[in-house]
């Protein structure tokens, strides 16, 4: 099966294409340039693989959490391409994609993914490898697998589930090292800071096999944080 995966949910912009078992990919750190980079990267991969978008069987996109603007760009591009080529789509968590990448690169089977969510909060989730070599989010006592949490409360959130330090991925560890460091087994800055579209390929393929593909109009972002609050500037309403 042929799949195109795209992600713009964080500072990284990435695209991956699976064609008859071969993987083609592009990855670039380009904060605030995703709207300029994403479509050219997709065109490059399609040309390199020698196929048209319509030859794909489905489109996989990073649904978030992450940058609100980046997530919206990724979902919008995915919808536009899927409409044009009449492709089903499936959204993949950016946290799950980082956990899957930790398994792909380092054979890690238990991972905490943490992304700096700004405003003194962190997107987080605990992932465990299943029998199909897919990293699955662990449902916690609050029945929320992925959440946005104040960093000082993350230890309590995983209490009783994560009994010893595990492999950590994402930007949240450096942003809130004082509050989170006891949960992480790997020292220093995490080896994996951002999700990649290449890791999303295996996750998306598994989702399509399970019948989770939807039409383009049903592609939805997952922000985790539903509302954004901010302090008003002096003199502003």
Give me the sign of the Cα torsion angle 68, 70, 74, 77.
Answer: positive
Q: What are the φ and ψ backbone dihedral angles of 105, each rounded to 5 degrees?
A: -90, -35
* CA–CA dist 9, 196 (Å, integer): 10
Q: Is the CB of residue 65 less than 8 Å from the CB of residue 137?
A: no
Q: Can you read off the two tokens belonging to residue 178?
A: 């004082």
Is pTM beyond 0.85 here?
yes
pLDDT tens readout for residues 45-68: 999 999 999 999 999 999 999 999
* CA–CA dist 45, 50 (Å, integer): 8
CATH of domain 95-183: 3.30.420.40
Name the band, by pLDDT with cuts 50, 70 and 90, for residue 237: very low
Q: Is the CB of residue 79 less than 8 Å from the CB of residue 89?
A: yes
Q: What is the pLDDT of residue 236?
A: 35
Question: For 3-93+195-218, which CATH class?
Answer: alpha beta
Question: Which residues lie across from 100 on neighbouring strands?
Answer: none
Average model confidence (pLDDT) across the chain: 93
Q: What is the pLDDT of residue 11?
A: 93
Q: What is the pLDDT of residue 143?
A: 64
Which residues in the chain belong to E strands, given as ranges? 3-7, 12-19, 22-29, 58-64, 89-93, 110-116, 122-129, 135-137, 146-149, 167-169
Q: Where in the chain is the domain with CATH 3.30.420.40?
A: 3-93+195-218, 95-183
Q: Round to the nearest angstrom and report the end-to-end CA distance of the chain.
A: 53
Does position 235 have pLDDT exceeding 50, yes or no? no
How many residues make up the chain in this entry? 237
pLDDT tens readout for residues 64-96: 999 999 999 999 999 999 999 999 999 999 999
């Amino acid at each position: 099966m042929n799949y195109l995966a795209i992600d713009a949910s964080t500072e990284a912009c990435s695209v991956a294409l699976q064609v008859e078992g071969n993987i083609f990919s592009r990855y670039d750190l380009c904060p605030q340039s995703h709207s300029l980079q994403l479509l050219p990267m997709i065109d490059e991969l399609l040309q390199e693989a020698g196929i048209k978008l319509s030859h794909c069987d489905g489109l996989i996109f990073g649904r978030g959490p992450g940058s609100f603007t980046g997530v919206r760009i990724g979902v919008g591009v995915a919808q536009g391409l899927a409409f044009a080529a009449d492709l089903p789509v499936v959204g993949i968590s950016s946290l799950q994609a980082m956990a899957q990448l930790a398994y792909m690169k380092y054979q890690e089977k238990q991972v905490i993914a943490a992304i700096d969510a700004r405003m003194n909060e962190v997107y987080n989730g605990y992932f465990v490898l299943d029998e199909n070599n897919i990293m699955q989010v662990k449902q916690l006592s609050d029945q929320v697998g992925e959440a946005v949490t104040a960093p000082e409360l993350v230890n309590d959130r995983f209490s009783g589930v994560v009994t010893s330090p595990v492999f950590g991925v994402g930007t949240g560890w450096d942003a809130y090292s004082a509050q989170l460091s006891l949960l992480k087994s790997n020292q220093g800055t995490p080896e994996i800071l951002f999700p990649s579209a290449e890791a999303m390929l295996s996750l998306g393929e598994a989702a399509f096999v399970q019948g989770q593909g939807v039409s383009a109009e049903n592609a939805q972002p997952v922000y985790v944080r539903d509302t954004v609050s901010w302090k008003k500037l002096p003199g502003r309403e």
